[in-house]
Amino acid sequence: MITRRYRAAAAAAGLLAMATATTAQAEQTPCVTRAEFGDFVLFVLPDLIDGVVETCRPVLGAEAFIATDGAALAQRYHDAGADSWPNAHKAMLASPTMRKLAGQLPDAALKPLIGAQLKQMITAELKPATCRKIDAFLGQLAPLPPKNMAGLVTLIVVEFSSNKPNNDQLVMFCPKPLTVTLPTSGQ
């Protein structure tokens, strides 16, 4: 009987130590929940699509999906992401650079700055040779509701993330909460 209580106490102490270590690690490495990252994706997709449209429309011609439906797709995503800012903002604060920028600017200035920066990044980095592939990709995914598209991107990023903090990693996802049920004294 004493052995059973000792084992239960030792197990509880071990769980407490693990929880404390996890909490200390989480404080050192900011993390992003899946919901926050999904809302971040939903928030940035319209600007990313606008950047793709701006870069690829001249390359692909008038018959391409991007030329015919790209602007409407970006607007649909913009409308769907109207309420995504609070979580998107939390996700951005996981980045030290963004925390510093967010501390200096009000949301009214920060939101369009993020969009403009992403759009500029896409237009600068996107190679015209990849426009056909992106056009086909967007054409196939366009029927998805925006939240599903954000969920798909989030799922892909989470699954391919090593979830080990390093300098090259853009996002550190929060670990799923650990729930443990300890036996009661009557068992």
State the pLDDT at residue 175. Answer: 65
Report the predicted TM-score, pTM, of the whole model to 2 decimal places. Answer: 0.71
Would you say residue 46 has pLDDT above 80? yes
Give me the pLDDT at residue 180, please: 61
DSSP letters along the chain, please?
-HHHHHHHHHHHHHHHHHHHHHHHHHHHS--B-HHHHHHHHHHHHHHHHHHHHHHHHHHH-TTSHHHHHHHHHHHHHHHHTTT-HHHHHHHHTTSHHHHHHHHHS-HHHHHHHHHHHHHHHHHHH--GGGHHHHHHHHHHHTTS-HHHHHHHHHHHHHHH---S--TT-S--BPPPPP---PPPTT-
* Listed ranges 31-40, 91-100, 136-145; the one with the highest mean pLDDT: 136-145
Is the predicted pLDDT of residue 12 greater than 70, yes or no?
no
